[in-house]
Amino acid sequence: MVELELTVNGKACMLKIEPGERLIDVLRQRLGLTGTKEGCGEGECGACTVIMDGRTINSCVVLAIQAHGRDITTIEGVGNRIRPHPVQRAFVEEGAVQCGYCTPGMVLAAKALLDKNPDPSPQEIGAAMSGNLCRCTGYDKILRAVQRAAREVTGT
Amino acid sequence: MKKRGTGLGCTWYGTGYGNGFPDVSSAFVEIHDDGTAAVLTGAVDVGQGSSTVFAQIAAEELGLRPEDILVCSGDTDVTPDSGTTAATRQTYNTGNAVLKAVRQAKLRLQEFGARKFSCPSPEGIELKDGMIGVRGDPSRSMPLSELAWEARLLHGERFISASSFTAQTTAVNLENGQGAPYWPYAFGCQAAEVEVDTDTGTVRVLKIAAAHDLGRAVNLTQVEGQIAGGVAQGVGYALLEEVELAEGRIKNPAFARYLIPTALDVPEIESMIVEEPEDTGPYGAKGLGEPAMLPTIAAIINAIDAAVGVRITSLPATPEKILAALAEKQRGGSGG
Amino acid sequence: MTSVIGSRVVREDAWGKVFGQAQYPADLNLPGQIYGVVLRSPHSHARILSMDVRKARELPGVAAVLTAADVPRNSHGVLYRDQPVLVAEHIRMVGDPLLAVGAESLELAREAAGLVEIEYEPLPALFDTEEAMRPGASPLHPEVHGLSNVFYHLPVVKGDLNKGWEIADVVVERDYSTQMVDHAFLQPEAVLAHVDARGNLVIQVSTQYPHYDRGEIAHALGIKVSRVQVKTLSIGGSFGGREDISLQLIAAMLAYKTLRPVKMENSREESFYSHCKRHPMSMHYKTGATRQGKLVALEARIVGDAGAYASWSPNILRKAAIHATGPYEIPHLRVDSYAVFTNNPWTGAMRGFGAAQPVLAYESQMDILAQELGLSPLEIRLRNIFRTGSVTATGQLLSGSVGLEECLQKVAPFLRQEEDKE
Amino acid sequence: MEFFQPQNLTEAVERSGLDTCFLAGGTDLVLQLREGKAKPQVLVDLSRVTELKYLTAAGGCLEIGSMLTFAELGGSELARAKANALWLACQSMGSPQIRNQATLGGNLANCSPAADGLPPLLALGALVRLVSRRGEETVPLAELLSRRPLLEVGTLIRGFRIPDQGWKSGFAKLGRRRALAIARLSVALAVEREGNQAKRVRVALGAVGERPFLSEALAEMLQGREMNEAWLEDAAAAAQQVVASALGSRASAPYKRVAVSGVMREAWASLAGGEGTACG
**Average pLDDT of every residue of chain C:** 97
Q: Looking at residue C163, which CATH number applies to its domain?
A: 3.30.365.10
C-alpha closest to that of B257 among C187, C318, D181, C291:
D181
Q: Which residue of C has its CA nearest to A40?
A: C268
C-alpha closest to that of B10 among B303, B318, B308, B298:
B298
Contact A65 D3 (CB under 8 A): yes
Task: List chains touching C (3+ CB pairs under 8 A).
Answer: A, B
Contact C181 B241 (CB under 8 A): yes
Quickly count: other Cβ atoms within 10 Å of residue A28's Cβ. 22
Fold of the domain built from segment(s) B23-165: Aldehyde Oxidoreductase; domain 4 (3.30.365)
Of C215, C233, C266, which residue sits at a domain end?
C266
Verify that C103 and C138 share a domain, yes or no: no
Verify that C336 and C197 share a domain, yes or no: no
C-alpha closest to that of C133 among C302, C317, C341:
C341
Report the number of secondary-structure helices (H) and strands (E) in chain C. Answer: 13, 15
Instruction: Report DSSP state, residue B75.
Output: B
Verify that A112 and A145 share a domain, yes or no: yes
* Residue C88 φ/ψ, nearest 5 degrees: -85, -45
Verify that C189 and C338 share a domain, yes or no: no
The residues with which B270 forms a beta bridge, in sequence order, are B209
User: b/e per residue, B172-185, with b = 16+ CB within 10 A?
Assistant: beeeebbbbbbbbb
Q: Can you tell me the distance from the alpha carbon of C327 to that of B186, in angstroms, rounded to the nearest whole number?
A: 10
Mutate to test the interface with A, among B85, B222, B262 (most CBs of A within 10 A): B262
Verify that C147 and C295 share a domain, yes or no: yes
Verify that A68 and A123 share a domain, yes or no: no
Residues in chain D within 8 Å Cβ distance of A49: 97
Residues in chain B within 8 Å Cβ distance of A140: 224, 228, 266, 269
Active site residue B290: yes
Report the number of secondary-structure helices (H) and strands (E) in chain B. Answer: 6, 13
Instruction: Report DSSP state, residue A30.
Output: I
D263 touches chain B (CB under 8 A): yes
Q: Can you tell me the distance from the alpha carbon of D210 to that of D201, in angstroms, rounded to the nearest whole number?
A: 23
Contact C18 A38 (CB under 8 A): no
Q: Looking at residue A20, which CATH number applies to its domain?
A: 3.10.20.30
Domains (range + CATH), chain D: 169-279 (3.30.390.50)
Q: How many distinct structural domains can be found in chain A?
A: 2
- The ipTM of this complex is 0.97
Verify that A7 and A68 share a domain, yes or no: yes
Q: Is residue C13 part of a domain?
A: no
Task: For strands C150-158 and C332-341, give the pairing.
Answer: antiparallel
Averaged pLDDT, C371-390: 98
Q: Can you tell me the distance from the alpha carbon of D123 to that of B250, in angstroms, rounded to the nearest whole number?
A: 37
Residue C418's pLDDT is 57
The CATH number corresponding to B2-15+185-330 among 3.30.365.10, 3.30.390.10, 1.10.10.10, 3.20.20.140 equals 3.30.365.10
Distance to chain D for A12, nearest Cα, Å? 20
pLDDT confidence bin for B50, thresholds 50/70/90: very high
Q: Can you tell me the distance from the alpha carbon of C312 to that of B103, in angstroms, rounded to the nearest whole number?
A: 35
Residue C421's pLDDT is 45
CB C348 within 8 A of CB C182: no
B46 touches chain A (CB under 8 A): yes
Residues in chain B within 8 Å Cβ distance of D172: none
One pLDDT digit (tens) per residue for chain D, 280 residues: 999 999 999 999 999 999 999 999 999 999 999 999 999 999 999 999 999 999 999 999 999 999 999 999 999 999 999 999 999 999 999 999 999 999 999 999 999 999 999 999 999 999 999 999 999 999 999 999 999 999 999 999 999 999 998 999 999 999 999 999 999 999 999 999 999 999 999 999 999 999 999 999 999 999 999 999 999 999 999 999 999 999 999 999 999 999 999 999 999 999 965 544 443 3
Taking only the tens place, the pLDDT of each residue in B56-82 is 999 999 999 999 999 999 999 999 999
Q: Which residues of A touch B (CB under 8 A)?
A: 39-40, 42, 44-45, 94-95, 98-100, 126-127, 129-143
The range of the structural domain enclosing residue A33 comes to 2-76
* pLDDT more than 70, % of chain D: 97
**Average pLDDT of every residue of chain A:** 97
CA distances from B316 to A44, B242, B312, D174 (A): 21, 7, 9, 18
Taking only the tens place, the pLDDT of each residue in C265-284 is 999 999 999 999 999 999 99
Domain with CATH 3.30.365.10 in chain B: 2-15+185-330, 23-165
pLDDT confidence bin for C417, thresholds 50/70/90: confident
Q: Is residue A101 part of a domain?
A: yes
Q: Which residue of B has its CA nearest to D236?
A: B199
Distance to chain B for C60, nearest Cα, Å? 32
Taking only the tens place, the pLDDT of each residue in B297-333 is 999 999 999 999 999 999 999 999 999 999 999 998 6
Q: Can you tell me the distance from the alpha carbon of C296 to that of C171, in angstroms, rounded to the nearest whole number?
A: 10
CB B163 within 8 A of CB B26: yes
D251 contacts: CB under 8 Å, gap ≥ 6: none
Verify that C298 and C369 share a domain, yes or no: yes
Residue A155's pLDDT is 86
Averaged pLDDT, C329-345: 98
Of C266, C295, C321, which residue sits at a domain end?
C266
C-alpha closest to that of A18 among A38, A34, A3:
A3
Residue D276's pLDDT is 45
Quick one: CA dihedral A28, A32, A34, A36, positive or negative? negative
What residue type is assigned to position C59 of the chain? L
B225 touches chain A (CB under 8 A): yes
Verify that C220 and C284 share a domain, yes or no: no
Q: Can you tell me the distance from the alpha carbon of D190 to that of D164, in angstroms, rounded to the nearest whole number?
A: 12
Taking only the tens place, the pLDDT of each residue in D162-194 is 999 899 999 999 999 999 999 999 999 999 999
Q: Is the pLDDT of residue A62 over 60?
A: yes
C-alpha closest to that of C413 among D277, D182, B83, B189:
B189
Selected residues 239-258 of chain B with any CB under 8 Å from a CB in chain C: 241-243, 245, 247-250, 253-255, 258
Residue D252's pLDDT is 95
Q: Is the pLDDT of residue B335 over 80?
A: no
The SS3 call for residue D112 is coil
Q: Is the pLDDT of residue C339 over 50?
A: yes
Report the number of secondary-structure helices (H) and strands (E) in chain D. Answer: 13, 13
The SS3 call for residue B41 is strand
C230 contacts: CB under 8 Å, gap ≥ 6: B75, B76, C203, C205, C207, C210, C211, C213, C214, C217, C248
What residue type is assigned to position C225 of the chain? V
Mutate to test the interface with D, among A48, A51, A55 (most CBs of D within 10 A): A55
Output the pTM of the full model.
0.97
Radius of gyration, CA atoms only, chain B: 25
Taking only the tens place, the pLDDT of each residue in C52-78 is 999 999 999 999 999 999 999 999 999
Verify that C378 and C237 share a domain, yes or no: no
Quickly count: other Cβ atoms within 10 Å of residue B217's Cβ. 24
Verify that C308 and C398 share a domain, yes or no: yes
| Cα–Cα–Cα angle for D195, D196, D202, rounded to 5 degrees | 105
Task: For strands C228-232 and C201-205, give the pairing.
Answer: parallel
Q: In what order do the strands lie in the sheet with B268-274?
A: B2-14, B185-197, B203-213, B268-274
Q: How far apart are the first and last CA of chain A?
A: 51
Contact A101 C267 (CB under 8 A): no
* Residue A52 φ/ψ, nearest 5 degrees: -115, 120
The SS3 call for residue A69 is coil
Q: Which residue of B has its CA nearest to D263?
A: B200
Q: Is residue A81 part of a domain?
A: no
Residue C211's pLDDT is 98
**Helix, strand, coil fractions of chain A, as percent rounded to 5:** 40, 15, 45
Taking only the tens place, the pLDDT of each residue in B273-292 is 999 999 999 999 999 999 99
Residues in chain A within 8 Å Cβ distance of B256: 40, 42, 44
C66 contacts: CB under 8 Å, gap ≥ 6: C86, C99, C100, C101, C102, C250, C253, C254, C257
Residue B332's pLDDT is 84
- CB-nearest to D259 from B263, B265, B319 is B319
C368 contacts: CB under 8 Å, gap ≥ 6: B311, B336, C172, C174
Verify that A112 and A147 share a domain, yes or no: yes
Q: How many CB pairs under 8 A join A and D?
A: 81
Residues in chain A within 8 Å Cβ distance of C20: 33-36, 74-76, 78, 103-104
Verify that C405 and C344 share a domain, yes or no: yes
Q: Is the pLDDT of residue C420 over 60?
A: no
Mutate to test the interface with A, among B223, B227, B235, B255 (most CBs of A within 10 A): B255
| Cα–Cα–Cα angle for B112, B113, B117, rounded to 5 degrees | 125
Distance to chain C for B42, nearest Cα, Å? 7
What residue type is assigned to position A31 of the chain? L
Contact D178 B197 (CB under 8 A): no
CB D20 within 8 A of CB D40: yes
Verify that C322 and C232 share a domain, yes or no: no
Q: Can you tell me the distance from the alpha carbon of C103 to that of C62, in angstroms, rounded to the nearest whole number?
A: 4
Q: Can you tell me the distance from the alpha carbon of C338 to that of C315, in angstroms, rounded to the nearest whole number?
A: 11
The range of the structural domain enclosing residue C205 comes to 22-123+183-266
Verify that C177 and C284 share a domain, yes or no: yes
Task: List chains touching D (3+ CB pairs under 8 A).
Answer: A, B
Contact D265 B199 (CB under 8 A): yes
Task: List chains touching A (3+ CB pairs under 8 A).
Answer: B, C, D
Residue C59's pLDDT is 98
Determine if the peptide bond prior to D40 is cis (ω within 30°). Answer: no
Residue D272's pLDDT is 62
Verify that A71 and A95 share a domain, yes or no: no
Selected residues 27-46 of chain C with any CB under 8 Å from a CB in chain B: 42, 44-45
**Average pLDDT of every residue of chain B:** 97
Verify that A99 and A120 share a domain, yes or no: yes
Quickly count: other Cβ atoms within 10 Å of residue C29's Cβ. 14
Residue A156's pLDDT is 76
B222 touches chain A (CB under 8 A): yes
Q: Is residue C4 part of a domain?
A: no
C-alpha closest to that of B262 among D101, D25, D175:
D175
Q: Can you tell me the distance from the alpha carbon of D168 to that of D273, in angstroms, rounded to the nearest whole number?
A: 7
Q: Can you tell me the distance from the alpha carbon of C344 to that of D76, in angstroms, rounded to the nearest whole number?
A: 50
Please, where are the H alpha helices in B81-122? 95-116
pLDDT confidence bin for A151, thresholds 50/70/90: very high
C-alpha closest to that of B41 among B3, B84, B1:
B84
Residues in chain A within 8 Å Cβ distance of C19: 35, 75-76, 78-81, 84, 88
Taking only the tens place, the pLDDT of each residue in B135-193 is 999 999 999 999 999 999 999 999 999 999 999 999 999 999 999 999 999 999 999 99
Q: How many distinct structural domains can be found in chain C?
A: 2
Verify that C75 and C202 share a domain, yes or no: yes
What residue type is assigned to position B118 of the chain? S
Q: Looking at residue A108, which CATH number applies to its domain?
A: 1.10.150.120
Q: Looking at residue C27, which CATH number applies to its domain?
A: 3.90.1170.50
